[in-house]
Amino acid sequence: MLNRILIIILLSITNSAFASDYKILSSTKDTLKTEIVKDKVFVLHKVQAGQTLYSLVRVYNSTMPEVMAANPVLNNQVAIKVNQVLYFPLMKNGKQVTAKAFKREEKASKKEITDKKGIHEVSAGETVYSISRKYNIDISDFVEANGIEENKLGQGQKLIIDPEEIKKVLKKSVLDKPKFIALEQVAVGKKITQEGVAEVINTTNRSNNYLALHRTAPVGSIIKITNEANGATITAKVVGNLSETGPDQEILVKLSPYAYYKLKPKDSKIRAEVVYFETAK
């Protein structure tokens, strides 16, 4: 029991002992709550079977004179009873916490929680896709609002995940970009329909242009790309061709970040249908 209490106290210190409404670990039957008495903060403890005053003094990092002074009911005697409620000074850095410091810490703790609302801190192994799925947010808006480049995240990186905050950021950033003009595909020539893998181009360019690298479509042509998983469709302008060999040999089309994320992908690569028209040479 003593070990369990010690662990509880250590955890309460590590995780900010200054809980709201002055309650510390109120879910346990040992530590009841905190209470302010004459500008000093005390922890109320309910005595359990097998506990002694000496052991509890050590657990609460206090001294016997301090505990005796806080509990006149003991009449300077060390005998305690099961279910008896005792006061122990709440200690921090070797000193008893004052009411002012307690309230200051409590306010800081609440502010920290508030500041973290709408923010996600990246953990090892997380990706753009897994985070957007976790919070059910539009992946294209998520990437754009957070300025994510090359589809890469760093451990500890803080990202905006609150939909309203994302909208505010996007509304502000759109003023810094040229107006987007949708590309129109003209149905002239032979219609070519292909299916294959689409992925994002790794680039730091934050342009809102819809650009593509395709295996066979002529440079300058407009292609229509459809995400086979959800039906999302965009049109993009081909600015280059992919190599038949090397790392891109299994890729049908690569898209600029803004274009790729508008397809609402659920992974770093997706199955896509590509349609374009090829004029006779």
Average pLDDT of span 99-105 = 84
Distance CA 210, CA 192 (A): 20
Task: Give alpha helix (H) positions in 147-256.
Answer: 163-173
**What domains are there in the chain, each with its CATH number?**
2-114 (3.10.350.10), 119-176 (3.10.350.10), 190-278 (2.40.40.10)
Average pLDDT of span 8-34 = 40
% of the chain residues with pLDDT over 90: 29
Condensed to tens digits (0 to 9), the pLDDT of residues 212-255 reads: 999 999 999 999 999 998 899 999 999 999 988 888 889 999 99
Distance CA 176, CA 179 (A): 9
Q: How confident is the model at residue 5 (pLDDT cuts 50, 70, 90)?
A: very low
Q: Does pLDDT of 15 surpass 70?
A: no
Q: How many CB atoms lie within 10 A of CB 245?
A: 7
Condensed to tens digits (0 to 9), the pLDDT of residues 39-74 reads: 888 988 989 888 999 999 988 888 999 999 999 999
Q: Check residue 274 and report its DSSP letter.
A: E
Higher pLDDT, 268 or 166: 166
Q: How many CA atoms lie within 13 A of 247 on its CB side?
A: 3
Q: Looking at residue 254, what is its pLDDT?
A: 93
Higher pLDDT, 19 or 199: 199
What is the overall mean pLDDT for the chain? 79
Name the pTM for this structure: 0.48
Phi, psi (rounded to 5 degrees) for 239: -115, 0
State the burial class of residue 206 (Cβ atoms within 10 Å of its Cβ: 0-12, 13-18, 19+).
middle
Q: Looking at residue 272, what is its pLDDT?
A: 95
Q: How confident is the model at residue 174 (pLDDT cuts 50, 70, 90)?
A: low
Condensed to tens digits (0 to 9), the pLDDT of residues 113-169 reads: 444 578 888 888 888 888 888 888 888 788 888 888 766 788 888 899 988 888 888
Quick check: 109 and 67 in contact, CB under 8 A? no
Average pLDDT of span 11-29 = 34
Record the tokens describing residue 177, joined without a space. 């970009």
Name the one residue in this structure whose structure tokens are 């280059």: 240
Q: How confident is the model at residue 86 (pLDDT cuts 50, 70, 90)?
A: very high
